[in-house]
Amino acid sequence: MTDEVRRASANQEPEPAVRGEGVAPVARKAAELRRLELLVTRRLDGLLRGEFLGRQSGPGSEVAGARSYEAGDDSRWIDWNLTARSITPQVRTTEADRELQTWTVIDRSASMSFGTGEREKSEVAFAAAAAFGFLTARHGNRFGLLVAGGDTILRLGPSSTRPELLATLSKLYDVPRRTTRSEPDADLVATLQSLERARPRRGQVIVISDFLDETQWQPAIARLAHAHQVLCVQVVDPREFALPAAGMLTLVDTESGRNLNVQSNSVSLRARYAEAAGVRHERIARQIRDAGSEHLVLTTNSDWLIEIVRFVASRRTLRRHTSLQQQQRVRATRLRSVQ
């Protein structure tokens, strides 16, 4: 039953996509990038501000603790409430506000060149990468891309200004549509390992893929999660969960080219397909969680930007709640130390 659930599509010649025809016309490409930028900035502007904390003590807004006042300290940082409960003046220490560096690993393998909804999975992946890129770079942070699934690993950026980001996204837009299996040294795992070997400074790593790669990608993500904040964006298509009743179908694995003839009118076959697809999806979600990564699912038949808005808003609420709990623990520790 595994073969029935693997990334498959009807064995018919797909209509050529814009990116599959070579380099897209400059005007059309520029118009799409401007449209994406407008959508993102209007609906997500400000949601990612303050989404990361500094790694070292220094001037900032997040409370890190307190220490005794020393000669030369700025009196404006004296915590008078804590000073009143202790013998000596106490000074607040804060977490430094530092530049965020984001690396995005985007999967452009053949399984991403599939879609029965409004768009292909590769198009959703491109839009998601552009969204996170605009939100990251427009505040002066650095954003880089590693493209997996081709003959070689493509490295773009990092960029920190709008013109640099548009140039990076333009090159990503021009990546040809993949219809054959990717090279072993350029698949998802190899690209994650390449980023790991580069040892970028602590920051954020975003992995955009359908995670149908049969290689062991989980350990690579887990190692990255030890040093970075990792977000896995899984792109799926409705036909990967439910097989339509369309009579005899010839399905083809988009990467291996293997054909499989199935009678889709069979109720039991569709039920087994849906069950196996659900099990696979749950396994992927569990592997992502066990690797210590956050998980966001985008589909080809829904508004991907709304899903990103909901995810960012929920993550912001969770972090605000967690920050309040940490501050309460710090205050409780101070009271116990004074007593």
Mean pLDDT, the chain cut into blocks of 10 residues (339 residues total) = 43 41 63 80 59 46 74 82 86 68 93 87 93 80 92 90 89 89 90 91 91 90 93 94 88 78 90 94 95 94 85 68 50 49
> Rounded to whole angstroms, how far apart are CA atoms 339 and 230?
40
The answer to whether the predicted template modeling score (pTM) of the entire model surpasses 0.75 is: no
End-to-end CA distance of the chain: 65
CATH topology of domain 2-11+22-49+98-319: Rossmann fold (3.40.50)
Estimate to the nearest angstrom the gap between the alpha carbon of 89 and the chain centroid.
45
pLDDT at position 25 is 64
Look at the alpha carbons of 3, 128, 190, 109 in this order and tell me if their dihedral is positive or negative: positive
> Rounded to whole angstroms, how far apart are CA atoms 62 and 278?
42
**Domain residue extents for the chain:** 2-11+22-49+98-319, 58-97
> Rounded to whole angstroms, how far apart are CA atoms 27 and 30?
5
Which residues contact residue 107 at a Cβ distance below 8 angstroms, ignoring those fewer than 6 apart?
125, 148, 149, 188, 207, 208, 209, 210, 213
